[in-house]
Amino acid sequence: MSISERLKARGIELPRPAAPVASYQPVVIHGGMAYVSGQLPFLNGELVTGRLGDDVGLDRGVEAARACGLMILAQLEAALGSLDRVERVIKLGGFVNSTADFTDQPKVVNGASDLMFDVFDEIGRHSRSAVGVPVLPLGAAVEVDAIVAVSEG
């Protein structure tokens, strides 16, 4: 089953890839690797903003991280032409806009990690970081980047 068939079977629709908000490329492919710039969480076309431990709850944070994961997939599909070129998700980096006493960053970033497992099965299992930060671009609640091994196109 192709990845696009798997997405369809799971009822997952990828968003339109977001344009960069500054001077960078959304995806750089080099040496069999795709480096995906940090992606922000858009739900129903709206950026999820706020701070975990303050005005954003854990469930909303998980949902926001999943939205970042969907945007990573959309950016990869746009850059690669097909998600079937993904050989392995190597690493996700998760950044959670959170208060000093919020310590559930790993639970938040599971939203993106679990999506990668759902979409790619075993090749979606990856290493990861999940860190709390005092602020993110545009006031986003979460940002996730990725390193992915890809086949030649």
pLDDT in tens, 87-100: 999 999 999 999 99
Give the three-class secondary structure for 1: coil
If pLDDT is split at 50, 70 and 90, which confidence band does 21 have?
confident
Length of the chain (residues):
153
- Partners of 86 in beta bridges: 150
Q: Which two tokens stand for residue 7?
A: 């997405």
Q: Is the confidence at residue 153, as pLDDT, over 80?
A: no
Q: What is the pLDDT of residue 1?
A: 85
Whole-angstrom distance, CA of residue 83 vs CA of residue 107: 26
Phi-psi region of 44 (alpha: psi -120 to 50; beta: other; left: phi over 0): left
**What ranges do the domains of the chain cover?**
3-15+25-150
DSSP string, 3-46: HHHHHHHTT--PPPPPPPSSSS-SEEEETTEEEEEEE--EETTE
Domain topology for 3-15+25-150: 60s Ribosomal Protein L30; Chain: A; (3.30.1330)
Residue that is written with structure tokens 């545009």 in the block: 138
Express each pLDDT in 28-44 by its tens digit: 999 999 999 999 999 99
